Every structure is written in structure tokens, then in C-alpha cells.
Amino acid sequence: MDPEEEVGKVWDRLISGAARTAYPEAAVTLDGLRPRLGLLFRALGGDPGLSIEAAGAEPHGARRSLLQRIAGSHRRVERAWADAEALRLPERIDLFPDAERNRDLYLWVAALAALDRTAEGPSGWERGPWLTARALARLPGMRARYARLAEAYLPLRPDPKRLPADEAAAERAVREALIDPRQPLALPAARRPPYPVALWLHPHPPRWDEPRAPAGDDGEPADPEGEGETRALEDRRRRRGQQVAMPERNSGLLLFPFDSILSWSEYLNVDRPTEEDEDLDNAASAADDLDLLSLARDNRRSASRLRFDLDLPSAANDDTPLGSGILLPEWDYRRGTHRPDHCRLQPMVALEAEPTPLPHHLHRTARRLRAQFQQLNPVRTWRKAQPDGTEIDLDAYERFAAERAAGQASGEPALYQDLRGGDRRLACLLLADLSLSTDTWVNSEARVIDVIRDSLFLFAESLAATGDAFALYGFSSRKREHVRFHVLKEFGERYGEGVRGRLAAIKPGFYTRMGTALRQATHLLGKRSAEQRLLLLLTDGKPNDMDQYEARYGVEDTRMAVREAREAGLQPFCVTIDRDAEDYLPHLFGSQGFVVIRTPEELPRRLPQLYAQLTQ
């Protein structure tokens, strides 16, 4: 190694270490606290529709120390805030030397965000102490935690004695507001804003549809990696994007080359579907230097679009459509109303589904489940005092004879008894997610779709043993105009090798427009006359699709579809193998309306058992 390079690396380590103010050994991560934070946020009244996501590090523009400027560090900081889609918290907190304080800070900012539900009160920097005072008044149990945090945090703030006069006055005002948040913050004008306050929410949360303001700092955009942090984590913590209009093709780059240099650095055309670009490494390097990546939708009909369409099965090789499709509404939570006839659901049946026996590897489990489920059949009992039947009811005859002798007999005598079977009067519709995400591997031998297929086999074998009415459907989607609804077994259809052939033919593809599929399932199950109507959803992830049906939009539409099913007298229940499901399923199905299967391999065995528990 070149001696100069070796000396440079040593110097970089020394400067970076001297400028570092974090405590990596006491770090607490968002992933480790996500369930607890979600529970706290929703329990305090936070919007239950918000997911919990990592907030990227952003330039703050405050003054940094000389060492920090030399090291090129501390230009960006992670702050907490909530928007219409998510509660955004730091990816990790290592501000304090002990993990307990870092954990307390997570809980504190989550509580602040839960109470920040109104537009009343000041905005900007002044909202921090106002919201803090509000939280301390409403949450007495948080007062001791806040006092400990404030006491430990104040020494970590910039020293006013080392700041210019105007910035020192602003820093002293911030310190006073941290000590006594009941006093309004009067932030004096200064050349630079105060250093971000970790105990407050973001004073100016970024909007995803607008570009971010520049940092206004004089440091180099180089963030040294912290100890124990990978480059991927650093990249995820700071990178942000925005969607912009597609720039014009003839933007004057040849006519005004010097004026266009900045445009080239800010706009990178990374749509290279037809050929490899020898400058990809340069493009990646340029992208690394950007705080904000701008993405635009290219409406050209390019080879990439053609290649995507070629991935779709042709009409001759696709499943057979049944009819021209069904128009269904969709819930738009932003407008607070349904969009009528917004989605087209297309029922389909497998094109090549040869009748097939039960797969051999399921024989033993199926035999055991059938024996267990046969015990769920109602026991045949004698029904006494009937007007007709197979045998005379001696007790009823003696009562009738005594009443007639006393002159009290009246009406038609009911002197018979009959042995009749019970009636469970149950109907179940199972809706299986067949999206492309089920093509992932559970282990070296099976994919998620294979686990789902085996689960459907065993579920059908079990219910066939009880005689309960049941139907099986699968779904996937490619935008709202094409929601595929696969008919695997209808209610009036006998379970046999024909149904098994359709189950064997299922394959993953496309996306998960869950709300539309649930509405069709509600319609089909709602037509059944039964005392208990169970709507089971089997899935491996959140609702999503290509045309804005993602994040909160898809979650809220699915939640409304579940609500509509309950209003129709159905019992919706979700079975999932998504380990992150506890972040969003309580909002969709309620705390008792779902179960998470931690080990996907257990799903085939657990699914019939869950049915037995739900229909007891």
C-alpha cells in the first residue's frame, strides 16, 4: 500500500474518532423496538393506520465544531416526525452512553408523535416545547423519563460560549425551553438555525412532493462510517427521493454546456433497459454525492415496457377467464369515500388442471386430520315428542294418557321420537394470496407458494371430512383493471380430484390488491345461509399494487373491505406468515382477528387446527 495512502487512512481514523459524539456500544435500533413503539404510539391515540418506518438522516444547516468540519461529519441528523403515511423514527439511537437512555428517547419521541394530532398550537421550532408541555400534562408517567433525558441531553448540546452572539442567544433559548417547556420559545434571529433537538419532533418535516432545502453548510459531504455500521445502513439512513416531471429531451445541454453541468449532476437517466452502459460506475458515484434523488416517469414505449409485457402470459397460455369481469368499488381514504366501479375483478379457472390424487407426501398428515375432523361432526341424538318419527316416545305417551284421563288433553299428540343428525350450519371461504412474493423460498426445498398449496390440500381434506360447506379461491392483481380471482373450489362443487388438479396448478404472479378480492369473497360468502360464515385470508404480506395501491392507501382500502365483511355478518380472519404483520394487521383485522405463523413450514398443519378453533 502506498505510504501516503496509509498515512491518509490513519489520519482519517484519528480525526473521525475525535469528532465522533455517538456511543455505538450503547446503540438501540428501531427494529428491536418496533413492536413496543407501535403499541405505545397507538395506545396514546396515534393514527393506527400509520406504519413505523426509518427516517433518513438530513442536512440541518447548524454550526458544527472545527473537528466535525475537518472530518466532514455531523452534516446530517435523523429526526422523528409523522406524516400521512408513516411514523418516521431514527434507524438507530446512540446519543447517550447507556442503552436505557437511548431506549427512553425512542419511547419519548413516539409519545410526542402520538399526541401531535392537531393543527392547533405553534409551528416550526416553537412547536417542540409546546408539544412537550402538552405531553407532560397529559402523561404524568412520562415526567420522570423526560427529566432524566433532559438532564443527560443538555451537556451534549453545543456550548453557547463557543458560538457567535446571535447563535448563542438561540441556543440559550433552546436550553431554557428544554428545562421548562411550559414557557413559550422565543427563538431570536440568527445566521444559522440551532442544532437539532433530539427530544423534539422535526420542526419542518420534509414533504415528499417537494425538493429539500440545501444544508447551507461549508463542510464536505462525507460521512465517515460509524463503528459497527455497514455502508448499507448508512445509505438507507440518509437517502431520500422525490418524484418530478420528466425533463425535456432537448434541454440545451449542447448549446449551454457549462450551465447544464448542475443539471446533469442532479438528473441521472438510469433507465437503461436495452444495453449496458460503460459509465454505470460513474453514475453510481454521482448518485452517492446527492442528498436527494429525483425520479421521473418516462412515458416512452421502450424495450423495458415491451419486455415487461412479454413476461405476461398470452391469452392462449393464460388461465381461462370466466365472463368479462366484475366491477367493484375501492375505498379512497384521502377523500373519505368509495370510488364506484374502480376495479375490474376477473374470475379465472386454470387452463391445464388435470385431475390428480392427493400428493403422496401429504397422505399421512391428511389421514390424521381427517380422523380428527370427523369428530367435529355433530353427534346423532334422539329428538323426543315429535308428531311423527321412527319409534314411539313412551314418556310422551304416558303424559298424554294421564292428561286425557284427567280431561286435560288438547291438540294433536306428539307421541314419537326420531334419531337425527345435528347440523353445524357452517360456511367457510378461504382466500389465498397468490402474488409474486409467494415465489420466495422458505428453505432449500420449498417456496412459499408450495407451502400455501400444501395448506390448501390439507384444509380441503379436513373440511371434506366434516361435511361443512366451503369454497377456495386465490387472487393476484396487475393494477386495478386486472384483479385475477382464481376459482379453485366453489361452494356447490364436490371436493375430489378435479379440485385437487386446480390446487396443484396454482402458481405465483403479479401483486396483491387485497381489498378488491375481499369484496368479491364477501359477496360470494354472503349469499350462503349459515349460522356462522367464516372468511379466511391466507397471505404472506401487505396489500400492494403498481398503481398507487401501496403504503397507507392499500392498507386503508383493505381495512374498509374487512369492515364491510363484518357488516355483512361474516367473520373475517387473517392467517399470515409475514413476520412484520403485527405492525399493520391489528389495524386491519383487530387484535383478535389474525394469527402470525412464525415458521411457514407449520402452516399446512396449523391451518386446519385454526379452523377447528374458530368454529367450535
pLDDT, one tens digit per residue, over 59-99 is 989 999 888 888 888 889 999 999 888 899 999 999 999 99
DSSP 524-587: HHHTS--SEEEEEEEESS--B-SSS-SHHHHHHHHHHHHHHHHHTT-EEEEEE--TTGGGTHHH
Q: Are residues 452 and 522 in the same domain?
A: yes
Q: Report DSSP letters for 262-288, one per residue.
A: HHHHH-------SS--TTHHHHHHHHH
H or E, element range at 229: none
Inter-residue contact 63 to 167 (CB < 8 Å): yes
**Structural domain span for residue 244:** 240-299
CA distances from 163 to 167, 193, 394, 595 (A): 6, 12, 104, 56
Instruction: Assign 57 to helix, strand or coil.
Output: coil
pLDDT in tens, 4-19: 777 767 767 777 777 7
Q: How far is CA 221 from CA 15, 271, 385, in A?
A: 15, 26, 90
- Asked, for residue 544, whether it belongs to a domain, the answer is yes
Whether residue 78 is contained in a domain is answered as yes
588 and 566, same structural domain? yes
Same domain for 415 and 430, yes or no, is no
CA 159 to chain centre: 42
Mean pLDDT of 435-439: 92
The pLDDT value given to residue 393: 84
CA atoms within 13 A on the CB side of 381: 7
Decide: helix, strand or coil at residue 468.
coil
Sheet of strand 51-55, all strands in order from the earlier edge strand to the far edge = 51-55, 86-90, 81-82
505 and 385 fall within a common domain: no
Q: Exposed, middle or buried, 590 (CB in 10 Å: 0-12/13-18/19+)?
A: middle
Bridge partners of residue 474, in order along the sequence: 432, 486
Look at 1 and 212; give whichever has higher pLDDT. Answer: 1
Q: What is the DSSP letter of 489?
A: E
What is the model's pLDDT at position 50?
Answer: 86
- The reply to whether 189 falls in a domain is yes
CB-CB contact of 466 with 377 (8 Å): yes
Both 264 and 394 in a single domain?
no
pLDDT band of 378, cuts 50, 70, 90: low
Residue written as cell 431570536? 188
- Domain edge (last residue) among 280, 299, 318: 299
**Is there a single domain that holds both residue 416 and residue 428?**
no
Other Cβ atoms less than 10 A from the Cβ of 99: the count is 15
Question: 15 and 95 in one domain?
Answer: yes
Helices (H), 417-482: 448-466
Query: For position 276, what pLDDT does the model report?
Result: 41
Residue 318 forms part of a structural domain: no
Question: What are the b/e assignments for 141-162, b being 16+ CB within 10 Å?
Answer: ebeebbeebbebbeeeebebee
- Torsion over CA of 319, 321, 325 and 330, rounded to 10 degrees? -20
Query: Is 410 in the same domain as 346?
Result: no
Q: What is the DSSP letter of 462?
A: H
Q: Are strands 320-321 and 391-392 parallel, antiparallel or unpaired?
A: unpaired
What cell numbers appear for 273 in the block?
Answer: 433497459
Q: What is the DSSP letter of 233?
A: H
User: Greatest CA span in the chain, whole angstroms?
Assistant: 123
486 touches 445 (CB < 8 A): no
Residue 58 counted as domain residue: yes
Give the total number of structural domains in the chain: 4
Beta bridge partners of 382: 419
Distance CA 413, CA 296 (A): 84
**Other CB atoms within 10 Å distance of the CB of residue 367:** 12
What's 330's domain CATH number?
Answer: 3.40.50.410
Cβ atoms 435, 476 nearer than 8 A: yes
pTM (global) more than 0.85: no
Between CA 353 and CA 337 the distance in angstroms is 41
Q: Is residue 432 part of a domain?
A: yes
- pLDDT at 269 exceeding the cut of 60: no
Does residue 416 share a domain with residue 428? Answer: no
- List, in order, residues 6 or more apart from 183 with CB less than 8 Å away: 129, 176, 177
Q: What is the CA radius of gyration of the chain?
A: 32
Query: At 382, is the pLDDT very low, low, confident or very high (cuts 50, 70, 90)?
Result: low
Q: Are residues 351 and 390 in the same domain?
A: no
Domain presence at residue 231: no
Q: Are residues 123 and 267 in the same domain?
A: no
Q: How far is CA 478 from CA 306, 453, 481, 512, in A?
A: 16, 22, 7, 8
Q: How far apart are CA 114 and CA 81, in angstroms?
A: 10
- What does residue 589 show for φ and ψ, rounded to 5 degrees? -115, -5
Render pLDDT for 142-187 as a digit per residue (tens, 0 to 9).
999 999 999 999 999 999 999 999 999 999 999 999 999 998 898 8
User: Would you state the pLDDT for residue 548?
Assistant: 86
3-state percent breakdown (helix, strand, coil) of the chain, nearest 5? 40, 20, 40
Residue 72: its pLDDT value, please? Answer: 82
Residue 550 falls inside a structural domain: yes
- Residue 140 has a CB neighbour count (10 Å cut-off) of 8
pLDDT per residue as tens digits for the range 193-236: 999 999 999 999 876 444 434 444 433 333 333 333 334 444 44
Q: Based on the domain organization, do 269 and 174 belong to the same domain? A: no
